[in-house]
Chain A
């Protein structure tokens, strides 16, 4: 075993450990702020794994988009909805957690089986540093259509997020001048939001 391979083995072990530990922290820690910070740690370790796989461009994108945008967005959301609430206890919660844990364990066993029984074959030597050029070529040739469509998706997500998160709504119907109320239409419907936690 050469020094290089030992080094990468250690790197992989450390990164894999931080990914798994961070992910468990995200789903298990009671405090959601810590969970969000651990999520940032998971994103960073995943970026490290990408570097090990010779994908520097995607690693940079991962850091910029996930850590820089998504994680910060999540932290902002936590700050904006930070009312401290005591979650009402639910009977059988522990049992539900164990059962769902078993289901996820079964899923995991299945995924592992697939990973080890499939003959994956082997591919050509990785391109390494030329990856960025290749990605650019792909985006402007065989992935041109999804690339253009992604721009529509982002535009629409931006507009929609602004419309939904903005506080103001029109106070009157622009055609009739009557005052409007979004609950007005179908007001007699059975409310979807009856608090059914008591049942």
Chain B
């Protein structure tokens, strides 16, 4: 039964969804003023990548599913990155008493 599950939807549907999510993440990364929200935008981008990987894994690599393994590594690393990011944010907040990106003068290019 599960073999037929994904056959009705084309692969491109997943890729488009991932592209939307990725571009939303990029926009949030550029425009967010709260440092926590920038971290959230990065998580959105990583989720977009994971959707891509999982879709390819299911449609093109159904037997060896390397994409699923790749996605697990991405999830692992994203968790570590989030923990480190929030630790750095906390230590910065103690020093500066703000999370406003504009006052860190960041991402101006």
Residues of chain A at the chain B interface (Cβ within 8 Å): 4-5, 8-9, 12, 16, 19-20, 23-24, 26-27, 32, 35-36, 39, 42-43, 46, 49-50, 52-55, 57-58, 61-62, 65-66, 69-70, 73-74, 76-78, 80-81, 83, 85, 87-88, 90, 96-97, 100-101, 103-105, 107-108, 111-112, 115-116, 120-129, 131, 134-135, 138-139, 143, 146, 150, 153-154, 157-158, 160-162, 164-165, 167, 193, 195-197
Q: Are B57 and A55 in contact (CB under 8 A)?
A: yes
Q: Are B4 and A46 in contact (CB under 8 A)?
A: no
Q: Are B54 and A100 in contact (CB under 8 A)?
A: no
- Shortest Cβ gap from A39 to chain B (Å): 5
Q: Number of contacts between A and B (CB, 8 Å)?
A: 257
What is the interface of chain A mostly: helix, strand, loop, or mixed? helix
What is the interface of chain B mostly: helix, strand, loop, or mixed? helix
Interface size class of B (residues with CB under 8 A): 35 or more
Q: Are A55 and B8 in contact (CB under 8 A)?
A: no
With a CB–CB cut-off of 8 A, which chain A residues contact B8? 4-5, 8-9
Cα–Cα, bound, A53→B2 (Å): 9
Cα–Cα, bound, A55→B57 (Å): 9
With CB as the reference atom, state the residue of chain B lying closest to A143: B69
- Shortest Cβ gap from B60 to chain A (Å): 4
